[in-house]
Structure 1
Amino acid sequence: MNKAVPALLTVLLALGGCAATRPATPRAQSVAPTRTAAMNSQRDIVLAVDNPLDPPSTHAGSSLLGYAPAAHYGAGQRAVSLLASLRQRYGWHELTGWPIKALNVYCIVLEPPAGMSRDDLLKALASDHRVQLAQPLQDYSVYADKDAPQHHYNDPYADLQRGFVETQAALAHEATQGDGVRVAVVDTGVDLKHPDLQGRIGDTRDEVGDDAAAFDKDHHGTEVAGIIAAVGDNHKGIVGIAPKASLNVYKACWYQPADSGAHCNSFTLAKALAAVIDTDARIVNLSLGGPADPLLSRLLGQLLEQGRVVVAAMPPDGSLDGFPDAAPGVIVVRSSASTPAPTGVLSAPGNDILTTQPGGGYDFTSGSSMATAHVSGIAALLLSLSPKLDARTVHQLLLESSKPANGLLQVNAEAAVEALRKQQARR
């Protein structure tokens, strides 16, 4: 046998392993084409099958990559065969597919065959023992409406930052600025070139993949990122609640033509959450929401079991029965209001919030999405001081340290930090 063959096999196997790793450069990337624009939440189905990854086959006539075709990136041979058998049985049209390693499944988005309703196909799939999960593809929306302690910051708009001032973030910064804490922002894209976000953004992933150029032009994610971690003391714009925290950005939401709001779906959000599971991000910011979803609930459950602090926006209608707000352990946030908050829900500044905008600009925006970003920033301040804090303790500290501001009870960064330091001193 040629001595070069084992070495070649080792190199090829190593390259195959590298293909599944997450990108390490701060640039929008996509694992595989998702054809997001072709998906229809009124018609399509998310289906998952078991995906045990077999070792590469080495018998004569086989390749190191096995038999999985390019259309099923990351699928093992048995998953590919199973999907082919199911497709032949039901006649669906597959739009896209992607492996979810954390759940050991391969997921596809499919369109029911002509003449068959989604409900009828879902009913049939529910009774097929080969299917691990089958559910409607669902839509999600971001929650945003577009339209004074002393501090030392030289950023020219700092005094105009209602949330920064009311939460007394500058005083909290005397103890911590969020150093060493990574926050995962699952949202739209973010303006990676914005001068107030330079050095704050680490990994980025584009799980929508339809228009990479749109990543830097997306408003909602850029707004959330600025509230959490805009650079301080750079003589530019604003200051983030945790200006030395790092952000990982996962684009799972996109803007549709002639529509002012951003939308996501079950599939793009599942890809983003699965990617977060493989990182060391302690905080997950979900300034979005929609209906309950079995697949997303399983992934969210894994994040919570791993000890992540998941911060989510309360829906505009105040209901707490969907994703992600209904999951036990999630910290839910609403925009501060004069009416009492539901039990356990935090209130934070969310109206007329000045923050970063695409193209290097700044503007005011509103919504519980922005309130959520304030809480994620304060959580980063706390974790920077005490990295082993769990989500329950973070939630309790924020609830108990909330203070009145302009007649509204809301989270307070300085008070939360002080409460944590007193707690540490008692130990």
Structure 2
Amino acid sequence: MSILRSESMTRFNRREFLTVSGTVLGGIAAGGTVTARESASRYVVDLKPNAGLDGVNVVHDLSTVGLAVVEGSERDVRKLGTYAPDIELRLSEPVQSHLDTSDESSTDEPFYPLQWDKQAMDIPEVHESCRGEGARIAIIDSGVDAGHPDLAANVNTDLSKDFTGDGYGAGGPYGGYHGTHVAGIAAADDTNEEGVVGMAPAAELVDCRVFSPDSLASFADILAAVTYAAEIDCDVANLSIGAYPVPRQGLGQFYGKVLNRVMTWANSQGTLLVISAGNDTADLQHDGRVCVENDDGSVECFSAISLPNEGAQALSVAATGPIGFGWGDTGVEEPAYSPAFYTNYGTNAVALAAPGGDADLETTNPNWYLDLVLSTISEPIFDDDGTYLGSSKSWGWAAGTSMAAPQVAGAVALLKSKDPSLDANQVESILKRSASVPDGYDKAYYGSGFLNPKGALELV
């Protein structure tokens, strides 16, 4: 068992590029610390018309959207168009987790009684209407274990792709358990008489891995993965990568522009982008500041926006969760639809809220972890030389907006399965119209409301 908490935001120098003061705007994956570093030789390029790519190494050809990711000298890159250095981003751990990888986990009986999240949304009744057949979900994350017994029937390994270039490939949890946990929430198998039930258990999963074993990812790899998801006709792409802040001026304008272009194009191709809102109790409606410390010790601060969850066409998801589920005879202190203590919020910044898990940080009840979200996990095992030896497959609990987003991604798959003619905007509209803000709660935590897959299907 391990209990992992997010780290506090720290300050970095100008070369490392980004820090936050005032309102914290989020973290990669499940929130917490973000480390963003400019690459010295890798660039995202907004290509000039008819630009050739001579003299550079093309990492990702994104000419479909007028972009390229290249390696080379800045002199050669300058000839191609406007550009900015790629950014390396570091993962931080989920807000709360309780990972059980022992052999004591039952594999004889389903774990649905422990899934308060699916119970709160009447999933058995939902599955009487639709289970996600024919729908395709891209998981842009740390890697999905295609060999996990709850996912083996779902992952399309032929379409799965590694965007990191680290040599490990796709279809495995090479960047950590996070992507496998996310995938199970969206589409864990409900026919194998073990484990958990996913939102759309008959949907197809595509592993788009953008995190490596050392937890580094890049902005460019994420752009490439979103583009790829649209090119292979994914109905939805889940990006449980939280939020990271960029200044609205300077390089921030460039990053925002190219991200918005990619996201708008993907949406136009029918791929809805579901993105976690971040876990720093931040009001995204009133963005904070990005601050950089100069070599002389002075500090400059800029107005900031959090990306990708505030990018164009993003369906940003906040997290909810109970307090007291399965604790005993005392009953639930907070319902499943109550806002989680860590979730980011903002009336016009958040589109929907969905179960992501909550926690009472002061309780001594030994069943505290049951308020987290139970799903599939697979922890990679490497030798001292970095050779992948396999993974430890099991089920475990975690909490974060990273766990809320795939609930929505799975609901998208259900709607597309029931009516494949729906485009991305129509699906988003149905999800919003079927949702509602619970009585007595602040709309800022919900956007259009709490996810209601049953009600959404009734509108199709």
TM tier relative to shorter chain: 0.5 to 0.7
- Cα distance in 2 between the residues matched to 1:405 and 1:363: 28
Root-mean-square deviation (CA), in Å? Answer: 3.2
- Cα distance in 1 between the residues matched to 2:395 and 2:283: 29
C-alpha deviation, 1:105, in angstroms? 4.5
1:47–1:109 contact (8 Å) kept in structure 2: no
Amino acid at match of 2:373: I
Distance 1:414 1:132, change over 3 A: same
Q: Whose helix proportion is higher, 1 or 2? A: 1
C-alpha deviation, 1:102, in angstroms? 1.4
C-alpha deviation, 1:197, in angstroms? 0.4
Distance 1:341 1:162, change over 3 A: farther
Among 37, 41, 58, which residue is 1:41 paired with?
37
C-alpha deviation, 1:266, in angstroms? 1.5
1:319 aligns with 2:284: yes
- Cα distance in 2 between the residues matched to 1:276 and 1:176: 23
1:362 aligns with 2:362: no
C-alpha deviation, 1:302, in angstroms? 1.3
- Cα distance in 2 between the residues matched to 1:143 and 1:109: 30
- Cα distance in 2 between the residues matched to 1:99 and 1:392: 27
- Cα distance in 1 between the residues matched to 2:45 and 2:168: 27
SS of equivalent residue, structure 2 residue 124? helix
Among 327, 332, 339, which residue is 2:316 paired with?
332
Unaligned segments of structure 2, at least 5 residues: 1-34, 98-107, 247-254, 286-304, 321-337, 358-371, 379-391, 442-448
| Match of residue 456 from structure 2 | 416
What TM-score results when the alignment is normalised by the length of structure 2?
0.63
| Match of residue 354 from structure 2 | 348
Higher relative contact order (CA 8 A, sep 6+): 2
Among 411, 414, 430, which residue is 1:397 paired with?
430
Residue pairs, 1:8-407, within 5 angstroms:
41-44=37-40, 45-48=42-45, 50=47, 78-81=52-55, 83=56, 97-109=59-71, 130-140=79-89, 141=91, 144-147=94-97, 156-202=110-156, 203-212=159-168, 215-217=172-174, 218-256=176-214, 262-288=215-241, 289-291=243-245, 293=255, 294-316=257-279, 317-319=282-284, 321-336=305-320, 337-338=338-339, 342-343=347-348, 345-351=351-357, 352-358=372-378, 359-402=392-435
Amino acid at match of 2:306: G
C-alpha deviation, 1:255, in angstroms? 4.2
C-alpha deviation, 1:391, in angstroms? 2.8
What TM-score results when the alignment is normalised by the length of structure 1?
0.67
1:102–1:277 contact (8 Å) kept in structure 2: no
Distance 1:80 1:369, change over 3 A: same
1:138–1:291 contact (8 Å) kept in structure 2: no
Deviates more, 1:96-105 or 1:376-385: 96-105
SS of equivalent residue, structure 2 residue 129? coil
Distance 1:338 1:224, change over 3 A: closer
1:49–1:106 contact (8 Å) kept in structure 2: yes
| Match of residue 73 from structure 1 | none
- Cα distance in 1 between the residues matched to 2:309 and 2:196: 29
How many pairs are equivalent? 323
1:144–1:370 contact (8 Å) kept in structure 2: no
C-alpha deviation, 1:145, in angstroms? 2.4
1:227–1:374 contact (8 Å) kept in structure 2: yes
Rg larger in 1 or in 2?
Answer: 1
